[in-house]
Amino acid sequence: MDKILRFDMGAENGPVCREEPLGKYAGMGGRGMTSMIISQEVPPLCHPLGEENKLVIAPGLLSGSAAAQSGRISVGCKSPLTGGIKESNSGGQASQVLARLGYAAIILEGKPLNDNLYKIVINKNGVVITENNDLKLLGNYDTVDKMKAQHGDKIACISIGPAGEMKMAAATVAFTDMEIRPTRHAGRGGSGAVMGVKGVKVIVLDDTGMKMRPPKDPDKFKEANKRFAKGLKRHSVTGEGLPAYGTNVLTNIINEAGAFPTNNFSSGRFDGASAISGETYAELETKRGGRPTHGCHRGCVIQCSGIFVDKDGNYLTKQPEYETVWSHGANCGISDPDLIAQIDRLDDDFGLDTIEMGATIGVAMEAGVAKFGDGEAAIKLVKEVGKGTPLGRILGSGAAVTGKVYGIERVPTVKGQSMPAYDPRAVQGIGVTYATSPMGADHTAGYAVTANVLGVGGNVDPLKPEGQIELSRNLQIATASIDSTGYCLFIAFAILDQPDTFQDMLDVISAFTGQELTADGVTALGKKILKSERDFNFQAGFSSKDDRVPGFFKREPLPPHNVTFAVTDEELDQVFNW
């Protein structure tokens, strides 16, 4: 993985590609790679949909190897949604395949001189770029089906749906899973719109004939990797809860904690939670012939994905994840698991972030566009987005824009990005992460739910401000590093609770790279990445005043605990004072 593929999509005679060495980006991967390239090559004040912005796709440092749980991929750009730097993370097969092809990053630059749409094919023989205007406005599923028909069933695809082509701020970049279905998405921040600006509909990856990436010390790597995988299996979350019920194992837990945002963040408990819980979905999938336990890429040990089938046993979508079940479920007052699964399929096909869309529809429901609990109306609204109608374009621009259009105050966003499935009043640590992450409201940037609710890595009272700054700070630093390795963030449960598993992870990375990694090294890398991201945002016009939650979280007590967000602005300004 010693090369970068750089595409000039605006070249005078049509798009051109060149290979180049890693140079100053040597030793970087995943989020570290995307954020370093964006911070050093993209003008912070550029328009996110202009030719000066770039889209960077980077596998993790360990991707393409035999390292367990190492198939995550990062997508970076200046975000059309937030106006700041963006790294969005996804699973799927593409990371492993791209890394085995030898590429540490794909960089898309410029914009086509016409409105042609392009397909890029990358395999062991090199790169081919062709016009493919017959793909225009196709959904991700039809696009991938066409690619399979043309290139066989040994491929991985990176694609955008109609939302990306229409340059909507809620548009995603889709990645195919092991069944070559576009079910995994770099969802947050509108990276799909930037790929649409570049005129790239799909990137087809084929690693046929390529070998696994070898470690520098094979014996130590093999032994450490075996211990690490056993550690993941030993932990109750990664070895039991997530494999059995997927990420949606959290619905009943977070609802019981009073932190499950309901009806556009007006309550912390949803009466219909049990009907859409992970336990209910797993039972439905088993009964109908689906699969509640499944990996999104080869080498996944945790197996937190699943396959959801309809009442007739036909494939519909991946097992809806916790964030999707919350956003299109409780946040919109909907308790029908089949309706939520239908919306999940539509979001994946159109190429839309399920978190942003569910939060947006919740705001629209508060505005009276539809009624809370009306699942059929929610489906119609998502279809409006897919068709690009005037209403659809408003909704496809995200919750912040929708709130402005309809004059709604209760809009749960930070830096223009919608909050995920934990109310910051009942999980104050995640509120700190929402407020201060360079990415905008993002639970994965520093998942304080661990110590606030789950008792993982310690215990910090979720309803009080004490201890939340340090908790979020440490998690944000660690997460930036993990996002660079290709490891799935869910390894955090095991490495926070089991010191030996943390050491095993360090040993895997050290044996693979040939350079010893320590806990201090993990911290140093995380700080370096966060500093580059924050520097970009400040140059783009952000200040400490953007590191805040909306005012209603400080004024409106959240039932059932009747608490407000109590971390002060002065405390929030201390997060990055290391």
**Tokens representing 205?**
């990856």
Which of 373, 401, 423 is a domain's end point? 423
My answer on whether 182 and 302 are in the same domain is no
- The CATH number given to whatever domain includes residue 399 is 1.10.569.10
My answer on whether 517 and 487 are in the same domain is yes
- The CATH number given to whatever domain includes residue 451 is 1.10.599.10
Which of 423, 438, 461 is a domain's end point? 423
| Residue 507 lies inside a defined structural domain of this protein | yes
- State the pLDDT at residue 428: 98
| Residue 210 lies inside a defined structural domain of this protein | no
| Residue 478 lies inside a defined structural domain of this protein | yes
Measure the CA–CA gap between 237 and 559, rounded to whole angstroms: 28
**Tokens representing 244?**
């059995």
Q: Do residues 181 and 317 make contact, with C-beta atoms less than 8 angstroms apart? A: no
- State the pLDDT at residue 297: 87
- Listed residue (325, 336, 360) closest to 255, CA to CA: 325
My answer on whether 293 and 373 are in the same domain is yes
Measure the CA–CA gap between 32 and 522, rounded to whole angstroms: 12
My answer on whether 128 and 263 are in the same domain is no
My answer on whether 60 and 113 are in the same domain is yes
Structural domains counted in the chain: 3
My answer on whether 19 and 89 are in the same domain is yes
Report how far apart, in Å, the C-alpha atoms of 240 and of each of 237, 293, 303 are. Answer: 6, 11, 10
List pLDDT tens digits, range 506-518. Answer: 999 999 999 999 9
Measure the CA–CA gap between 4 and 390, rounded to whole angstroms: 39
Find where tokens 């739910």 sit.
449
| Residue 174 lies inside a defined structural domain of this protein | yes
| Residue 531 lies inside a defined structural domain of this protein | yes
Q: Which domain holds residue 406?
A: 248-423
- State the pLDDT at residue 1: 76
Our CA dihedral for 252, 268, 469, 545, rounded to 10 degrees, sits at 140
- Listed residue (7, 10, 6) closest to 113, CA to CA: 10
Q: Do residues 370 and 377 make contact, with C-beta atoms less than 8 angstroms apart? A: yes
My answer on whether 486 and 507 are in the same domain is yes
| Residue 23 lies inside a defined structural domain of this protein | yes
| Residue 159 lies inside a defined structural domain of this protein | yes
Measure the CA–CA gap between 36 and 194, rounded to whole angstroms: 18
My answer on whether 255 and 175 are in the same domain is no
Which of 371, 389, 423 is a domain's end point? 423
Report how far apart, in Å, the C-alpha atoms of 390 and of each of 236, 360, 394, 400, 511 are. Answer: 47, 15, 6, 16, 54
Q: Which residues of 324-360 are buried (b: 16+ CB within 10 A; e: fewer)?
A: bbbbbbbbbbbbebebbbbbbbbbbbbbbbbbbbbbb
| Residue 34 lies inside a defined structural domain of this protein | yes
Could you say which residues of the chain have pLDDT below 50? none
- State the pLDDT at residue 326: 98
Q: What is the pTM (predicted TM-score) of this model?
A: 0.97
My answer on whether 185 and 266 are in the same domain is no
Sequence letter at residue 34: T
My answer on whether 123 and 34 are in the same domain is yes
My answer on whether 200 and 224 are in the same domain is no
Peptide bond into 560 cis (omega under 30): yes
My answer on whether 146 and 281 are in the same domain is no
